[in-house]
Amino acid sequence: MYRTLWEYKQYQLANLKVFEADMTELYTMGNAYPTEIYGTNEGYNVFVFLNGLEKEEVVFAQSYSKAKAMDIAKKELREFAIEKFRHKIKNPQFAYGF
C-alpha cells in the first residue's frame, strides 16, 4: 500500500481512471478532510489528508468495494482521533490543536 500521495500519484499514472465521490461523511473529525477517491483496476482508494500537524499525514484505504474503502478510511480516522486525544491527555502542553 502507498502511504504518501506522491507514491500513489506515481502508481496512478499507470492505472485506468479517476472517479469523483461525495466525501462529506468523512468530514466528522474537525481538522481532517478527505480529498479524493480513486477507482483503479485494483479497486477503490480513499485518501484522507490530516492537516494541522507538524507534517502532512495521509490515511490511505484500498478495497474492491467503494463502500468498504470508505469504511476503512472512517475507521482509520477514528483511530487517529482517539490516539491524538490520548496524547493530549498524557501531554497537556499539546491540548490546543492537533
**91: how many CB neighbours lie within 10 A of its CB?**
9
Task: Please report the pLDDT score of residue 68 as a whole number.
Answer: 74
Q: Note the pLDDT tens digit of each residue in 8-51.
A: 655 554 443 333 333 333 344 444 444 455 555 566 666 655 54
Q: Is residue 42 within 8 Å of 62, Cβ to Cβ?
A: yes
- CATH code linked to domain 5-93: 3.30.160
Three cell numbers written together for 20: 469523483
Dihedral class, residue 97 (left if φ above 0, else alpha if ψ from -120 to 50, else beta): left
Quick check: 97 pLDDT over 60?
Answer: no
| Residue ranges of domains in the chain | 5-93
